Chains A and B, each alone.
Chain A
Amino acid sequence: MAQGTCQGYQIDASQELRSQNWAGLVGEVYQTWKHRYAGRRAFGYLCTYAPLELLHAAGLTPVRLMPLGAAVALVGAHLPSFSCAPARAVTERRLQGELGFLDGVLFAHACDTMQCVADIWRMSGDGPLVLTFSVPTVLNGPHAKMYLLAELQQMAKALEARFGAPITEDALRESIAVYNEQRRLLSELYEQRRRFSTEEVWALTLLGMLIPVEEHCALLRSSLSQKLDQARTDEHGAALLLVGAVFDDPSLLGLITELGGRVVGDDLCTGSRYFDTPVDEGAEPYSALAERYLLRPPCPAKHAGIGVRVERVLSLVRATRSDGVIFLSPKFCEPHAFDYVALGDELDKIGVAHLLLESEVTAPEGQMRTRLQAFLEMLEQTSR
């Protein structure tokens, strides 16, 4: 039985991960973190624009904060109803006392909602230390790099002051190397995705944001080597590209698989946008970190030039030979909702079908199933 293991997490890579198991596994991540990783200092982040290598070089272990099935109860007195599920669910976790395992949280600037959440958390007086990291919105401007460098250096000083240890150039280079290794392994996972089930690829990717990066690399290495001698799965069913934000709910994947679809790639915040584009290890570390911000495929909350994101998604469609695109937008998310129109129009022009699924804190599964079923049936028919 092929197994990839790491301290605390046993993933049976030969079995398909069912959503109940997964929700249990990951849902307990935050509760059990301190126990599993005693001696490490967890530092939360919500956005891929957080400088993980800097946190790591400061001796911290970055842990991504996501809804992961959190229900909402208390957050209604802290955030209005027209805020997105990630903001509400993660704030709920904080209000419920589930984030006590963190030494702090870093908010990298991306969208208006998270900008407010950072200050709301800070104003509450209790809960984890909040650090804010400013990221340019315009990534293709001639002065963005200068600004980013200043912010990275300021964050390094703040971390040094707060946690005592100096962030040496060697430490930063080492952190960059290990995160680059993770990026390389995740890219390989995506290339080899046909040897895994859809849920396995998704679970192995998401884990990378929740457990220490060194362990995740070990897990990926062993999972990949164990699958290499396995035959590729048959390529039945509609090839789907997922485009969206945080995708942390496995029930949709289960639905896709059940209805005969297969995921061939993504432009997701918790998918390829997390690991795309390595940091240049030959360059000065701060400069190299800043460059990655400018070069990596942008989140819709950033502007990297007119048409850049559209071109990115179209090139993914071509590279993966997708039959259809599923947009996974959180409800109440302006950046994704605006990009959806431009992307939809361009996909229409090249004749690629697409479906919009807006996710909320409590997703109406029945409706989603019906629409997904109709979409996949339509794709089956057009491919004949």
Chain B
Amino acid sequence: MARSQYRKLKTAGELHRLMSMHYGQARFLRLGRPVAWVTSGAPVEILRAMHLLPLYPENYGALCGARRQAVGLCQAAEAKGYSPDLCSYARSSLGSIFDSRSAPMHGLPKPDVLVCCNNICGTVVKWYEAVARHYGVPLFILDAPFIHDDVRPHLLKYVQDQLAELIRFLQSKTGRQLRMERLQQVVGLSNDAVQLWSEIRALCKAKPSPLNAGDLFVNMAPIVVLRGTRSAVRFYEHLKAEVEERVRNGEGAVPSERWRLLWDNIAVWHHLYPFYNYFVEYDGCFVVDTYTGSWSQEVSSGEPLHGLATAYATVFLNRSLEYRTDLMVDLIEAYDVDGFVMHCNRSCKPYSLGQYAIKRAITERTGVPGLIVEADMCDSRSFAPEAVRTRVQAFMEALAG
């Protein structure tokens, strides 16, 4: 049995500086650039190529959750009539607008435009409608229909046609122009970062795994909010070097790693490390997860709008439950996983509602046991640590037994 501990990465300082720059830039170093609030699955390469400053309310929500400041902000949104059953990222974000004084960094700077893509969920459409209504700023919704079966050509055409609309929209609302060569450049940088991040995650096939889920969730931030920039590429080069070094030296994130686990869904931000430590106590390490790999699709070469449409229309959360089950079975085999844990996240229906069906299917196909744990990614009121801990104990003891 290991003591709960965390092996800090040397690149942690660089990560912190990068994220501070990201948030600080929009507030203090704008240099006349328009600010856009964007969803995590938006084709940000287009915005970066037009020299807009993208900000991510979802990442901000995760930050509020991690700092344990989300509850107060959620309550501010609830006071305006927003149901407590709504996504806690949305409530935190809206709450930070209504009560900016209580919010980390006093909230995000007011956006000039909003770009929302529903490839991750339908909630973002309603959330961004609310933000557009509040600020009176233009909103573009990129409609990426959910894929129940195969990827149909007319779906890709629909998304690609809208990307051309998006460019026209941004040009009209911000006065910025898009040069195709610049877009190609940004797409190249995005692909570089995505490839590095994929390689880093693949290094966790080593035994012991150099990283635990907490590391994956913290270090995914640049792939989400800085994708398309040189600093993201540099950071992941440094991180990859460090992780490779750990593998060479046989240094595991959990030195006494005995059980290799797969994590499904978003992290429980308000208990990020403590939660994974429940498993560390039983020599369990999360060597792979389904969320941080969502940004692992490279944009194919050729016509950039076609490549972007394909990459963004086919993200993990836009695919059927059967597709996701197949992916998880592949991960279990590739990473030699002994058990899987699914965070049944109150805030995320597309990710959580299918978990009972997926869990049954995975165990049927692989024999690997799973555990479903109810919580919320950001709102700590929906988390009962002692109850969860008991279930973790039972699960890990069953693995050993």
Q: Which residues of chain A have C-beta atoms less than 8 A from B353's C-beta?
A: 79-80, 83, 87, 112-113, 116-117, 120
Convert A105-126 into 0s and 1s, putting 1 for each residue whose CB lies closer than 8 angstroms to a CB of B.
0000101110111111011100
Q: Interface residues of B, CB < 8 Å — how many?
A: 50
Interface-facing stretch out of B120-128, B195-203, B212-220, B247-255: B120-128
Q: Which residues of chain A have C-beta atoms less than 8 A from B154's C-beta?
A: 146-147, 150-151, 154
Q: Would you call B374 and A80 a contact (CB within 8 A)? A: yes
CA distance A291 to B306 in the complex (A): 27
Q: Please provide the chain A residues from 337 to 357 with a CB less than 8 Å away from any CB of chain B in the complex.
A: 337-342, 344-345
B133 within 8 A of partner (CB): yes
Convert A123-144 into 0s and 1s, putting 1 for each residue whose CB lies closer than 8 angstroms to a CB of B.
1100000001011111001111
* Given A79-B353, A80-B352: A338 in contact with B145 (beta carbons within 8 A): no
Q: Which of A113, A120, A150 contacts B357 (CB 8 A)?
A: A120
Q: Would you call A119 and B82 a contact (CB within 8 A)? A: no
Q: Would you call A137 and B356 a contact (CB within 8 A)? A: no
Q: Which residues of chain B have C-beta atoms less than 8 A from A146's C-beta?
A: 154, 157-158, 161
Q: Which residues of chain A have C-beta atoms less than 8 A from B148's C-beta?
A: 115, 118-119, 132, 134
Q: Would you call A154 and B143 a contact (CB within 8 A)? A: no
Q: Which residue of B lies closest to A75 (CB)?
A: B356
Q: Which residue of A lies closest to B116 (CB)?
A: A303
What distance in Å separates the Cβ of B326 from its nearest Cβ neighbour in chain A? 11
Q: Would you call A123 and B361 a contact (CB within 8 A)? A: yes
Q: Please provide the chain A residues from 77 to 101 with a CB less than 8 Å away from any CB of chain B in the complex.
A: 77-80, 82-83, 87
Q: Which residues of chain A have C-beta atoms less than 8 A from B162's C-beta?
A: 141, 143
B209 within 8 A of partner (CB): no
* Given A77-B356, A146-B158: A120 in contact with B321 (beta carbons within 8 A): yes
What distance in Å separates the Cβ of A281 from its nearest Cβ neighbour in chain B? 26
What distance in Å separates the Cβ of A73 from its nearest Cβ neighbour in chain B? 15
Convert A300-330 into 0s and 1s, putting 1 for each residue whose CB lies closer than 8 angstroms to a CB of B.
1101001100000000000000000000000
B377 within 8 A of partner (CB): no
B80 within 8 A of partner (CB): yes
What distance in Å separates the Cβ of B304 from its nearest Cβ neighbour in chain A? 18
Q: Would you call B86 and A338 a contact (CB within 8 A)? A: yes
A331 within 8 A of partner (CB): yes
Q: Would you call A109 and B146 a contact (CB within 8 A)? A: yes
Q: Would you call B81 and A340 a contact (CB within 8 A)? A: yes
Q: Which of A112, A135, A138, A342 contacts B349 (CB 8 A)?
A: A112
Q: Would you call A83 and B349 a contact (CB within 8 A)? A: yes
Q: Would you call B158 and A116 a contact (CB within 8 A)? A: no
Q: Which residue of A lies closest to B120 (CB)?
A: A112
What distance in Å separates the Cβ of B331 from its nearest Cβ neighbour in chain A? 18
Q: Interface residues of A, CB < 8 Å — how many?
A: 53
Q: Which residue of A lies closest to B145 (CB)?
A: A134
Q: Would you call B126 and A116 a contact (CB within 8 A)? A: no
Q: Would you call B354 and A119 a contact (CB within 8 A)? A: yes
Q: Which residues of chain A have C-beta atoms less than 8 A from B86's C-beta?
A: 334, 337-338
Q: Which residues of chain A have C-beta atoms less than 8 A from B127's C-beta?
A: 338
Q: Which of B87, B143, B357 contacts A136 (CB 8 A)?
A: B143
Q: Would you call B85 and A332 a contact (CB within 8 A)? A: yes
Q: Which residue of A lies closest to B355 (CB)?
A: A80
Q: Which of A137, A150, A341 contacts B130 (CB 8 A)?
A: A341
CA distance A154 to B349 in the complex (A): 28
* Given A119-B354, A123-B357, A137-B125: A143 in contact with B165 (beta carbons within 8 A): yes
Convert B107-148 into 0s and 1s, putting 1 for each residue whose CB lies closer than 8 angstroms to a CB of A.
000000000001001110111011011000001010101101
* Given A122-B322, A124-B357, A344-B81: A338 in contact with B129 (beta carbons within 8 A): yes
Q: Would you call B143 and A137 a contact (CB within 8 A)? A: yes
CA distance A118 to B148 in the complex (A): 9
Q: Which residues of chain B have C-beta atoms less than 8 A from A334's C-beta?
A: 86-87, 122-123, 126, 349
Q: Which residue of A lies closest to B143 (CB)?
A: A138
Q: Which residue of B lies closest to A302 (CB)?
A: B125
Q: Which residue of B lies closest to A134 (CB)?
A: B145
B8 within 8 A of partner (CB): no
Q: Which residue of A lies closest to B352 (CB)?
A: A80
Q: Would you call A338 and B130 a contact (CB within 8 A)? A: yes
CA distance A93 to B146 in the complex (A): 26
Q: Which residues of chain B have C-beta atoms less than 8 A from A132's C-beta?
A: 148-149
Q: Would you call B141 and A303 a contact (CB within 8 A)? A: yes
A254 within 8 A of partner (CB): no
CA distance A78 to B372 in the complex (A): 12
Q: Which residues of chain B have C-beta atoms less than 8 A from A331's C-beta?
A: 85
What distance in Å separates the Cβ of B251 from its nearest Cβ neighbour in chain A? 38
Q: Which residues of chain B have C-beta atoms less than 8 A from A338's C-beta?
A: 82, 86, 123, 126-127, 129-130
CA distance A168 to B118 in the complex (A): 35
* Given A116-B354, A337-B85: A123 in contact with B126 (beta carbons within 8 A): no
B344 within 8 A of partner (CB): yes
Q: Which residues of chain B have C-beta atoms less than 8 A from A82's C-beta?
A: 85, 346, 349
What distance in Å separates the Cβ of B234 from its nearest Cβ neighbour in chain A? 37
CA distance A275 to B339 in the complex (A): 50
A335 within 8 A of partner (CB): yes
Q: Which of B82, B123, B139, B143 contacts A341 (CB 8 A)?
A: B82
7 contacts between A and B (CB under 8 A): A112-B121, A118-B148, A122-B322, A137-B145, A306-B132, A338-B82, A345-B81
List 6 other contacts, CB 8 Å, given A120-B321, A141-B165, A147-B145: A79-B356, A80-B355, A87-B353, A113-B353, A123-B322, A339-B126
Q: What residues of chain A have their CB less than 8 Å away from a CB belonging to chain B?
A: 77-80, 82-83, 87, 109, 111-113, 115-120, 122-124, 132, 134-138, 141-144, 146-147, 150-151, 154, 300-301, 303, 306-307, 331-332, 334-335, 337-342, 344-345, 358
